[in-house]
Amino acid sequence: MDFIFIEGMLVDANVGIFPRERSAPQPLEINMTFGVPDTAALRDDIADTIGYDQVVERVREVLAQRQFNLLETLGEFVVALMFEEFKAPWVRVSISKPGVMKDVRRVGVYIERGRNGESLSGLPIPMGMLRN
């Protein structure tokens, strides 16, 4: 399986349980890696893969319209979106809120799912997923 990654996608989203979080959209950073068919590289045809530009556009569009209480729920929603709309066989996503706590750079979640429940956790994690 080949993989595409998107690192440092900045979005504004309505997420949180506290009144200060729910009063306005807040910035998030999303990092994703998702599986794509090997045939894309073999045939050199965009029709055989998942367009990262379409993923970014769709994630931003959906997050502008939805409210989530938890980053965990938002993360699972993004994974389901990748499975259902883009037919990705495997997805890894990290979503973080920068600067929401004093003296903490960011807080967030990290989710990895295979379409059929399989895990590929032996795969290396792109550097953006584990930023210091």
| Catalytic site positions | 97
Round to whole Å and give the CA distance between 32 and 78: 10
Alpha-carbon distances, residue 42 vs 1, 47, 48, 49, 125 (angstroms): 12, 12, 9, 11, 25
- Residue 115 makes CB contacts below 8 A (sequence gap 6+) with 83, 88, 89, 90
* Residues 101/12, Cβ–Cβ less than 8 Å: no
